[in-house]
Chain A
């Protein structure tokens, strides 16, 4: 099962001809992902890596190839348009990797997508990996920029606002012999498509997922909201880590959303909410894998 995507999911990449998009498109192909189309306006008719057809519009790509998921690698000034185009073309899942999209653009995109069937993940996120069933977990679905080789097929769901911190957690799990059902990066921006809570609910309903790691950081109230829900409804053990305990207030710590403003969004408040929900909080980022082991008892 896993959540959101699996080895049969057909994906397309918007911005496949850019150097960043192209590089990660190749890595996804190498991982065994069903990358069936690319989209770059003005480059329709070309081919990526001698096998992936490129289209001018997302509609053409979806109609011709049956892709249901789009990964967005286009530069920030064009990213909002690209997301809306994917939603209009009927993509069920849109994963925006692009970092640096203006907040006003995301505000309008979210409002415009209200009531539509498409789910947005990101922006400013590493994407999703559902490790494969083949040898060394190949044949899975890798969308985005995460390194495929650190993953191992298994039963732990991972959800995080940060890229490299997710890799750190996944790598710790893999080294402990604990594989992952799906690893989801929801992104570090203040307005994004999918929250910790949305992903927790999916993991809770996924028969393959037996435990969950949730990685958060300072800013907003996303983690507190997820914790309050988990306290009442989550049937599975959860471990968590919150980054930014030492961050000074009022400073944006790299991610646009990682800022303590007006005394809100502190690591201390988040950690307290998580503990109150019975979630095992890792004391350090080196302790994430072990925290999950403790949570599973």
Chain B
């Protein structure tokens, strides 16, 4: 789950990670009030979950989702131009994203930029601190070109972050004296946030030192462990469904694991591994999958029906491939779900069904006795070939 920049800033404030002064505004009037508290260097930033905001263009022609100005009135005018408008950046796709909030903050001068992140490392099964003297740039590029400028510090899962580990990272980044102290407090607060909020990653890029010697987090990116959201209702509440593919929002309501893609062959599968493999085999035979969809190991008839509705709600979809290996799950439940769905939504595209496993004979009979127009297949390869052929026909 991702959150907005202003929400990240609020989390930073809660845990004591220093960042520039600033607040979020929904209206130009609010922007004016906040900007008037910010001094003579003010930055106004559109709040969308996408990179490249600064170089983006609004659909009304206004250029740039990030601007620095020198007085509050200007900040307010900028907010008025951004709010309610759709911003297109290299990460949003052509449709862009609606800007309903802007962040108005103190624009700080930068003396030096750094990179600082904490992430859950699966190989060491521990939190790892990643720090670099090369901040404000793509860290993957730094890793490729100058890996010696990136430092890693593994933290013991049960002991937690030790004072010497903080000193070690501070020294690697070249901090000393008061700045080392400020950095230590920041890292310590960031680590506490990482653990207490069940993050899988928190990244500050850039971390900056200002000309007047302050150490500040200028931007932040969070990734939370979805499995842990049940114990963080406050974080779950930060979720902004308008930032998500509407098909995925709909699927989540029915506990379906759905990820929208760009192809035209929809798939409905039980199990995540098999769902990925089904996408792969569609591609192998020359097709393009329209989605990843795992209905889970114990899907109900209702879930299958809703899965069909979501698939058919996507205008790009030109064929459907159902691939079920009913281990414990009853193939007949799937079959009845397909029949029920076809009664509720008009099925006017080719449907290929491959059922295998538990109670498969009953499932095939249910489908055969219904008036649903479908092509059946005995193996996954046969099903994928038929689905691809149906598109090309």
Contact = CB atoms under 8 A, between A and B. Distances in A.
B278 to A, nearest CB: 7
Given A145-B297, A163-B273, A263-B140, A107 B284 contact: no
Task: Find the residue from B157, B298, B358, B379 having the highest chain A CB count within 10 A.
Answer: B157
Given A77-B230, A104-B198, A111-B158, A286 B276 contact: no
A18 B279 CA distance: 34
Interface stretch (B78-86, B94-102, B121-129): B121-129
Given A150-B327, A190-B122, A248-B259, A162 B273 contact: yes
Interface string B113-138: 00000001011011100000000000
A107 B280 contact: no
B279 A247 contact: yes
A224 to B, nearest CB: 11
A215 B292 CA distance: 19
Interface of A: 20, 23-24, 27, 76-77, 100-108, 110-112, 126, 145-147, 150, 160-168, 171, 188, 190-191, 215, 217-221, 241, 243-248, 251-258, 262-263, 267, 283-287
B156 interface: yes
Main secondary structure of the interface of B (DSSP, over half): mixed
A126 B281 CA distance: 23
Nearest to B379: A286
Contacts of B384: 284, 286
A138 B157 CA distance: 43
B261 interface: yes
A171 B325 contact: yes
B327 A145 contact: yes
A164 B354 CA distance: 14
15 contacts: A23-B328, A27-B328, A100-B227, A102-B225, A104-B195, A107-B126, A126-B327, A162-B273, A163-B274, A171-B356, A243-B280, A254-B275, A256-B226, A283-B284, A286-B380
Contacts of B269: 164
Contacts of A247: 276, 279, 292
Contacts of B123: 220-221
B228 A254 contact: no
Nearest to B283: A246
A244 B271 CA distance: 13
Contacts of A167: 325, 327, 357
Interface string B207-230: 000000000000000000111101
A164 B225 contact: no
Contacts of A258: 272-273, 276
Interface in B255-285: 257, 259, 261, 269-284
Interface in B286-308: 289, 292, 294, 297-298
A243 B276 CA distance: 6
Task: Find the residue from B195, B283, B380 having the highest chain A CB count within 10 A.
Answer: B380
B280 A284 contact: yes
Nearest 8 Cβ contacts at the A-B interface? A162-B273, A254-B272, A164-B271, A286-B381, A102-B228, A165-B273, A285-B277, A147-B327
Contacts of A145: 297, 327-328
A36 to B, nearest CB: 22
Given A147-B357, A167-B357, A247-B279, A160 B273 contact: yes
A253 B230 contact: no
Contact of B327 (A108, A146, A256): A146
A162 B298 CA distance: 15
Interface of B: 120, 122-123, 125-127, 140, 156-158, 195, 198, 200, 225-228, 230-231, 257, 259, 261, 269-284, 289, 292, 294, 297-298, 325, 327-328, 356-358, 379-381, 384
A240 to B, nearest CB: 13
Contact of B276 (A77, A190, A218): A218
Nearest to B270: A164
A108 B277 contact: no
B378 to A, nearest CB: 10
A162 B276 CA distance: 10
A105 B281 CA distance: 35
A267 B280 CA distance: 10
Nearest to B144: A263
A102 B198 contact: yes
A166 B274 CA distance: 9
B157 A217 contact: no
A171 B381 CA distance: 14
A255 B259 CA distance: 12
A254 B123 CA distance: 20
Contacts of B157: 107-108, 110-111
A246 B279 contact: yes
A162 B274 contact: yes
A37 to B, nearest CB: 22
B380 A285 contact: yes
Given A258-B272, A267-B280, 14 more contacts: A100-B227, A102-B231, A104-B195, A104-B228, A111-B156, A162-B273, A253-B276, A255-B273, A256-B226, A257-B122, A284-B381, A285-B278, A286-B379, A286-B381
Contacts of B270: 164
Contacts of B120: 103-104, 107, 190-191
Contacts of B282: 246
B281 A108 contact: no
